[in-house]
Amino acid sequence: MDSFEINKIIAAVLLTALIVIGIGKAADLVFHVDKPKQSAYKIDGLEVAEVTKESDGKSETVEAVDIAQLLALGNLAHGEKVFKKCSACHMIASDGKNMIGPNLWGVIGRNAASISDYKYSKAMVAYGKNWTFEEMNSYLIKPQAYIKGTKMAFAGLRKEKDRASVILYMNSKSSSPVPLP
Ligand code: HEC
């Protein structure tokens, strides 16, 4: 094989490499998809981690969901729809009965596990806190993670709008709705 042959082989190899790289680049150009900068979790428009509040010229950082901001994402009509998922187990009427789960009339603002003729799990009784907007939000994200041992067999509401709406809806089903923050 003379050097001319070898050169031809090298040229062929280089050319092949170039073509392969070129196709890759072209494919990138054709199929380029912009990845969203924010995760899906944040797209609902809520800062979960650190919220800086400015009041009286001072600014303080609180590690919590801004509940007013969250509730602003919801609306009653949507809440009524979302509650259909709950109504397999819960009634929410002033004369409602306990079903698989307790009647939820007036639940926002009352203490957890406070319906006397409903048999709660030990976990719910031990939890026993007031159902504030914040607590309800934390619970509904993933009930069994928030109150370990609860017998509420419900996966949770991942979407902020769903939680905000169903919380507003539940608050409206009360003889004394809690004022919104
Ligand atoms: C599969 C049945 C089921 C579904 C669906 C369900 N729950 Fe429950 N829920 C329960 C049970 C059972 C309990 C009692 C939990 C315990 O004692 O640990 C409960 C308890 C609760 C409590 C505490 C009530 C109290 O008196 O302290 C709230 C609040 C609640 N559920 C809200 C909801 C909401 C809102 C939904 C819909 C998004 C929902 N649940 C869906 C079964 C269910």
Digit-coded pLDDT (tens) for 44-61: 445 454 445 555 555 555
The rounded Å distance from CA 57 to ligand 1 centre is 42
Averaged pLDDT of the chain = 85
Nearest-5° angle of CA 100, CA 102, CA 104?
Answer: 130
Is the CB–ligand 1 distance for residue 124 below 6 Å?
yes
The rounded Å distance from CA 100 to ligand 1 centre is 8
For residue 80, is pLDDT > 70?
yes
Best CA proximity match to 166, nearest among 42, 46, 81, 67? 81
Section 158-178 average pLDDT:
98
First to last CA, the chain: 86
pLDDT, residue 11, reads: 81
The residue behind tokens 């072209």 is 26
Q: How far is CA 71 from CA 33, 128, 166, in A?
A: 33, 23, 10
Is the CB–ligand 1 distance for residue 91 below 6 Å?
no
Question: Candidates 84, 85, 89: which one to mutate for ligand 1, based on the most atoms within 8 Å of Cβ?
Answer: 89
pLDDT, residue 37, reads: 54
